[in-house]
Structure 1
């Protein structure tokens, strides 16, 4: 059994991030392919929210080591203000101070064959880079999202650090892994001398979690069609204004009314914004804002919804929401509000999604809503086939990662 040291900030008991699933499922499934994980993560003190619901899914045989870390905005702020340099490249940069010495101890103890670190917490790549440089162990840099982008991060000094970190990762790592074809292509163009070391391992869904989720086939709200968005609604990357404006017009026309429709936003993280927009467009009776629930309960809700809503702005064309894979596995009709030329639209189109419109195009969104509501009423809305759904399982992604590790160590 070969070993991999996995550096990941997103790990149970952290709550509120879909990024946990990628690392957790790799940790569960890599031993089936000859790789024993050792996890190096942060102390829960650094987490904004915690929940015990996924702790029981961490294999008891997996060594999990939690390095001391603070959240700058939470622990090092005075009156809500803190020194900007103490939060670069991110608010958890203090994690590196303890994680690098602990990581070297783990390397001496377990002698891993590969180091793997995962972004979007940039400090994880800082840790991975230092451990690889000091130990000589091959390093795999996992990018769940692109790093330095046009206008992101907005702070110029933070952007410079992001650029430095991604440059070091792509140039020095044995392989850099991206979760979408668009992101991988973008980085091959950025770093043509290292294009051969860039791979794609997409996100996916966990079949065991779906099997354990209750699917009673009972309607979420009897007598109504329910359209569910599960997860964070970002004000810019998933700007809901065109959707709410379109819903307002359809309500006035009697196409989508509160008597027959309920649009559910589960764990949006921006309920105040959504409430304000619902009032502005006079659709408060259509919109239902719901708090976070346990992961398997969220999957059960997906399985029972009449339709599932994806929102992704064109500025994120090289990204795919992790929820999209769970939506495909739920095998419920999907309304996709995403740029038709982006990776999210490509994934869902290949899964058989019929209704797709650019999120920023208010009139196209209105047309997609009309079409989707008609398909649901007539019972003609398509869902992904079993074969398509199975191709996006976490098991298949873990096999891809194990094969990459095998290739690196020969």
Structure 2
């Protein structure tokens, strides 16, 4: 008989973006390991990104439970539709660029909705799920955050029913980069830390996506912590033709602080020094781009070389990954982001295109790229080595074409990762 597991998640198709992929894929493969997943989601959620194509990937026959949720961002739209949508996507303007309304919205978000704007869903969810769990004889629940308010659902269900509970952290809680931008009072900051510690010390097991987060959480709890990264899945065949231009493509959101000015300077210098490079080069930005990044590109005289595509469906993003000459991965240059492993990294890795990544020293991303031979990793202080690497790729592009020689990718397949999860269950 299959083991029933209740998965409590906010992001689920038609939600777009990276947050939905992790548990959509786990749910796809869990039945192959004798686990029956039951998914609990909001009924009327206000997703910042929507990708209707992902609904076709929901496995048939899966039990999906829904309960209404009150979304504060709907109310915020009455004041400023643009600001509420931008902040809900995680694109927070630099302090000096924030309007008074944006500063007010961030203060309200950080201090009146702890741990996040979905906290109002906790109480009705606990009431509904308490009855469902007992009726259906479910022995194990999984909560996944962010939003970390979903862990409070797990916390209360654990205290009520003494059920086995696994808390999955796709991102850290109080050390994630945007947390500092929420204009928290001292009381609010302490409240976040208290809730984080309570969750970490009450759950039966913690799941994280990086070694850095594991090390961080081990300072807060003695509960067992397992690293299960994100990964890649078998994608349906897509029709594409390699870009004729020497394209460098970034897929995903480019936040204000995710702005590698050293890279823009390198590209501008190569354009000025080499007429052929100037004629061949194109920077494709596929996803939301902050005004801060746009201004930096303009300042570096790169605007004429930028193809700003905007948000596309997951299937369309796969096409961009496969047809681009090089793939760009950028993370904020901060100790707080050492633990961040973007979900798109793993899809980049199987696209057969080399990766140029920029991020902080000590990042888990750096280790994975070097281990799998899927590209080159640079720090924000690098300049000469970054320029030389791009030139080497450009020479390869002009001659026999750019090649990629990845190794050891199999352990990052979604099925292999789901097998690791099934062992915890």
Give the TM-score of the pair, scaled to structure 1. 0.88
Secondary structure of 1:203's counterpart equals coil
Moved more, 270-279 or 89-98: 270-279
Unaligned runs of 5+ in 1: 406-410
In the aligned structure 1, how far is the partner of 2:402 from the partner of 2:339? 27
TM-superposed deviation, 1:34 = 0.9
Q: In the alignment, which residue of structure 2 is the partner of 1:97?
A: 123
Instruction: Indicate the residue corresponding to 2:380 in structure 1.
Output: 359
User: Cα distance 1:312–1:367, how it changes in 2: closer, same or farther (>3 A)?
Assistant: farther
Corresponding residue for residue 156 of structure 1: 184
Matched, 1:180 2:210: yes
Shift of 1:290: 0.5
Task: Answer with 86-95 or 319-328: which moved more.
Answer: 86-95
> Structure 2: how far apart are the matches of 1:331 and 1:76?
42
> Match for 1:393 among 392, 404, 413?
413
Q: Equivalent residue for 1:124? A: 150
Match of 1:326 in 2: 347
Residue of structure 2 in register with 1:219 after alignment? 242
Q: Distance in 1 between matches of 2:177 and 2:409?
A: 35
- Whether the aligned pair in 1 keeps the contact of 2:45 and 2:69 (CA below 8 Å) is yes
Partner in structure 2 of residue 7 of structure 1: 8
- Check conservation: 1:40, 1:99, Cα contact below 8 A: no
Change (3 A) 1:377 1:336: farther
| CA spacing shift, 1:31–1:139, aligned 2, 3 Å | same
Please list, as runs of the form range in 1=range in 2, the aligned pairs for 1:57-96 lying within 5 A after superposition. Answer: 57-75=57-75, 79-80=79-80, 83-84=108-109, 85-96=111-122
What is the DSSP-based 3-state SS (H/G/I as helix, E as strand, rest coil) of the residue aligned with 1:242? helix
Q: Secondary structure, in 3 states, of the residue corresponding to 2:22?
A: helix
Say which SS state the counterpart of residue 94 (structure 1) adopts: helix
Comparing 289-298 with 247-256, greater Cα deviation is found at: 247-256
Instruction: Please say if residues 307 and 333 of structure 1, whose CA atoms lie closer than 8 Å, have aligned partners that are also in contact.
Output: yes
Deviation at 1:39, TM superposition (A): 0.9
Whether the aligned pair in 1 keeps the contact of 2:51 and 2:314 (CA below 8 Å) is no
Q: Assess if the C-alpha contact under 8 Å between 1:372 and 1:381 holds in 2.
A: yes
Provide the aligned length of Structure 1 versus Structure 2: 392
User: Residue 152 of structure 1: CA displacement?
Assistant: 5.4
Q: Deviations along 1:371-402, whole A, 9 cap, x unmatched? A: 433344444755243x5222211111100000
CA distance in 2, matches of 1:108, 1:43: 22
Partner of 2:225: 198
Q: 1:258 to 1:285 in 2, by over 3 A?
A: farther
**2:394 counterpart SS class:** helix
Change (3 A) 1:79 1:297: closer
Higher alpha-carbon deviation: 114-123 or 76-85:
76-85
2:364 is the counterpart of 1:338: no
Show the 5 A alignment for 1:251-400. 251-254=271-274, 257-267=277-287, 269-270=288-289, 272-315=291-334, 316-379=337-400, 381-385=402-406, 388-400=408-420
